Amino acid sequence: MRDFSQLLDALVYTRSRNAKLKLIGDYLKRTPDPDRGWALAALTGELDIPGVKPALVRALIEERCDPLLFRMSWDYVGDMAETVALLWPKRSEQPAEIDDGTLRIGAVVERLRTLGKAEAPAAIAEMLDHLDASGRYALLKFATGELRIGVSARLAKTALAQAFGLDVDEVEEVWHGIGPPYLPLFDWAEGRGPQPRAVDVPVFRPFMLAHPLEDGQVDLADYAAEWKWDGIRVQLVRVGGETRLYSRAGDDITRSFPDVAEAFDHDGVLDGELLVKGEAQGGLAASFNALQQRLGRKAVSARMLADYPAFVRLYDILLDGEEDLRPLPWSERRERLERFVPTLDAERFDLSALIDAASFDELEEIRAGARDASIEGMMLKRRDSPYVAGRRTGLWYKWKRDPLTADCVLMYAARGSGKRSSYYSDYTFGCWSGDEQGEGELLPVGKAYFGFTDEELMWLDRFVRNHTLQRFGPVREVEKSLVLEVAFDSIHLSKRHKSGLAMRFPRISRIRRDKPANEADTIDALKKLVT
């Protein structure tokens, strides 16, 4: 656990992507099996220890120190695992972990995965007693699955590939077919075994991604245009009688959308946008807010299936049966997809339509007029492009519609996490409930934690500290005097919020120090932007 804790410490304080790749790669090369495999599972979010949850850790520390001291320390530090690691009382006879080797990662995982909820607290407490502060931090992050250290799953897999001279896309393709601690993967990496193959297993294939279209145009003779729908990108995979749904990050979301998985009964791999049908839209795609009701659910009730029926709007076809179509140009894959879609259940699958425009200027006019609830913008795809993993310059572009903006008043702030744990960087903002600006009460309309520069973060943090009215645990209520210009992609009606509104992708666009709070926007003004 000590070597893993040193890796985490180094990653937290490293900004460079290449430096992070080297740190992870070096760790994987020097660490034996199965420890490195379990560490890799933790870094990629594939490790699940059901018996250890944050509530258990909080209960343990509150038995060992004053609960008020813990909560105040947590508020100051901003990270629960770090707070517990620092506050945990050190035993006078504390042995070194190297004495018995029971705190190697593999041994920790093996023990914790076999324990029930009643046995887990004593086991975790015993392990924490054997470790120093750095080791305790690593154990808690590892066991609770809350590694927020600036490392994505893709970055960790890339580090593995680079360290052992593998192709990262080949690693990605067999990733879900192996599972932690990935022994066949490391056997292949070190030349002890053959390259793993996805045979009769519905594994994930890396998505082809797009670059933003900056200022400029493309030739429509070379590029096709289609709508960019506002759902979540998914991959449908069926082989060997089994269907799985994967998110863009490669997460298996089949259990959240069993209605879609059951309807896909043709062998192949498809790329599309997962959406929900809405009654108000006459059975067409509803807003992202409707889809959000089903995201992240491990079990979906019959009521949820009926109220929020999911379907996939298809973009591309990667495999037709066992035939790999990815090397073909987009135009040929599109023809194959158009033949494939009519064989599927029309209630669950349809085809993303192409946009007919005589010129780029006409296409720009069409885009400017698009404010459908489920349209996020346009995709421009080079007609001769193969389907290749990642972002390749010049092949696909995403052309989002211009964001909406509103002037809102800062109401509450909370500390961030990771590198921002010392700063108030999570902001809740609101608009006036009355008929006119400055009338009625301020009602929260959204939260944002990005969009500002480091210099602006410092200024906002000082404002929060100097204008705090009340404290509610880790949250500070501030004087209602600062106006923030907030940009967002769309806004929707929501029964879950007091304001009746929910913003999509809000971010801080500008700090309006020049504008008095009574001139901020009203709830009614925002409702006029609802799509």
What is the per-residue pLDDT across 450-463, written as a single tens digit (0 to 9) for each?
Answer: 899 888 999 999 99
Q: Which helix (H) or strand (E) holds 239?
A: strand 232-239
**pLDDT category, 93, cuts 50, 70, 90?**
low
475 within domain boundaries: yes
C-alpha to C-alpha distance for 469 and 413, rounded to whole angstroms: 11
Question: Within this chain, do residues 396 and 514 fall inside the same structural domain, yes or no?
Answer: no
Same domain, 93 and 68: yes
Q: Please tell me the distance from the alpha carbon of residue 298 to that of residue 258, in angstroms, as a whole number.
A: 10
- The answer to whether residues 169 and 157 touch, using CB atoms and an 8 Å cutoff, is no
Mean pLDDT in the chain? 87
For residue 491, give both structure tokens.
């806004």
Peptide bond connecting 327 to the previous residue in cis, omega within 30 degrees of 0: no
User: Residue 453: what residue type?
Assistant: T
Mean pLDDT of 31-50: 88
Query: Band of the pLDDT at 100, cuts 50, 70, 90?
Result: very low
Q: Residue 196 has which token pair?
A: 């793993």
Task: Identify whether residues 414 and 393 lie together within a single domain.
Answer: no
In a domain, 56, yes or no: yes
Cα-based distances in Å from 154 to 207, 261, 278, 349: 12, 25, 34, 29
Residues 280 and 307 grouped into a single domain: yes
Residue where a domain terminates, one of 115, 144, 173: 144
The answer, yes or no, to whether residue 489 has pLDDT greater than 90, is no
Shared domain check, 408 and 317: no
Q: Which of 381, 400, 419 is the last residue of a domain?
A: 400
376 vs 379: CA distance, rounded Å? 10
Q: Are residues 136 and 35 in the same domain?
A: yes
Are both 246 and 378 inside the same structural domain? Answer: yes
Looking at the structure, tell me whether residues 345 and 412 fall in a common domain.
no
Please say if the pLDDT value at position 528 is more than 60: yes
284-306, pLDDT tens digit by residue?
787 777 787 888 777 788 888 98
Per residue in 202-246, pLDDT (tens digit) is: 888 889 999 988 777 899 999 999 998 888 999 999 998 899 999
The CATH number of the domain holding residue 506 is: 2.40.50.140
| pTM as predicted | 0.69
Does 183 map to a domain? no
C-alpha 61/C-alpha 69 separation (Å) is 10
CATH number of residue 394's parent domain: 3.30.470.30
388, 409 contact by CB (below 8 A): no
177 part of a folded domain: no
Question: Whole-angstrom Cα distance, residue 494 to residue 486?
Answer: 19
Statement to judge: residues 139 and 261 lie in one domain: no
Is residue 228 annotated as part of the catalytic site, yes or no? Answer: yes
Task: Write out the two tokens for 315.
Answer: 């973009």
Cα 184 from Cα 463, distance rounded (Å): 54
Query: Are residue 363 and residue 424 in the same domain, yes or no?
Result: no
In a domain, 337, yes or no: yes
What's the CATH number where 64 sits?
Answer: 1.10.3260.10
Q: Does residue 150 belong to any structural domain of this protein?
A: no
Does residue 173 form part of some domain? no
Which carries the bigger pLDDT value, residue 391 or residue 101?
391
Asked if residue 488 belongs to a domain, the reply is: yes
Adjacent-strand bridge partners of 484: 408, 511
Question: What's the token pair of residue 226?
Answer: 């289609």
pLDDT value of position 467: 94
Is the pLDDT reported for residue 99 higher than 50? Answer: no
Of 144, 171, 200, the one marking the end of a domain is 144
377 near 363, Cβ under 8 Å?
no
Q: Cα-flanking dihedrals φ and ψ of residue 472, to 5°?
A: -125, 85
Domain span at residue 79 reads 2-144
- DSSP β-bridge partners for residue 243: 238
Summarised one tens digit per residue, pLDDT across range 433-455 is 988 888 899 999 999 998 998 88
* pLDDT of the residue at 376: 81
Q: Answer yes or no: do 365 and 222 share one domain.
A: yes
Q: How many domains does the chain have?
A: 3
Note whether 324 and 309 are within 8 A (CB).
no
Residues 221 and 343 in one domain: yes
Q: What is the pLDDT of residue 418?
A: 67
Q: How far apart are CA 118 and CA 529, in angstroms?
A: 51
Q: What is the pLDDT of residues 259-273, one digit of tens each?
A: 999 999 999 999 999
Assign 130 to helix, strand or coil. coil
* 434 dihedral zone (left: phi>0; alpha: psi -120 to 50; beta): beta
Which of the following is catalytic: 20, 157, 228, 381?
Answer: 228
